[in-house]
Amino acid sequence: MKEMMDQINTQVEMLPAVIRYWVNWMGIIFLISVIFVWKKKSAQFVLLSMVLTIPVALGVFYWTETIHLLGVAHILVWVPLFYYLAKYEMKSESFSFKSIYGIWLCLLMTTISISLVFDVRDIALVITGNK
């Protein structure tokens, strides 16, 4: 396991700084769910999805040995999360875009959307042999 983590860290260090900042941003925006986890079921799902993404991503890396396919974990875990948040949480009567929770949820969903676009792009580049 340590060897695999070393490989991941080596590949991450070779990425441009802006991508490493983006990865940190994603971690922060998902971790903010802890603030709301006691009152909002959707925040519990966000935290759970963050936790589930880790072993899925490690499995993907174990089989492929490239960080460029870690987006597979995002697609498998985040697409259902995004659907749930869009269909049930943002349409609920108690949801307000002007609340701290609403602002966070909008930032989270924007982050997920942007990440998924890049994940699909990376997967396509790997499949076509361009990455």
Helix axes 100-127, 71-84, angle to 10 degrees: 140
Is 69 within 8 Å of 123 (Cβ atoms)? yes
Alpha-helical regions (H) of 68-99: 71-84
* pLDDT at res. 98: 87
Task: Please say whether the beta carbons of 68 and 81 come within 8 A.
Answer: no
Give the residue numbers spanning the domain of 101: 2-127
Q: Phi and psi dihedrals of 95, rounded to 5?
A: -75, 135
What CA dihedral angle connects 43, 48, 50 and 53, to 10 degrees? -150
pLDDT of residue 68: 93
Question: 63 with 72: CB under 8 angstroms?
Answer: no
d(CA 60, CA 48): 19
How many distinct structural domains can be found in the chain? 1
**Average pLDDT of adjacent 10-residue blocks, the chain of 131 residues:** 90 94 96 96 96 96 94 97 92 84 96 97 94 79
For the entire predicted model, the pTM comes to 0.91
DSSP 15: S
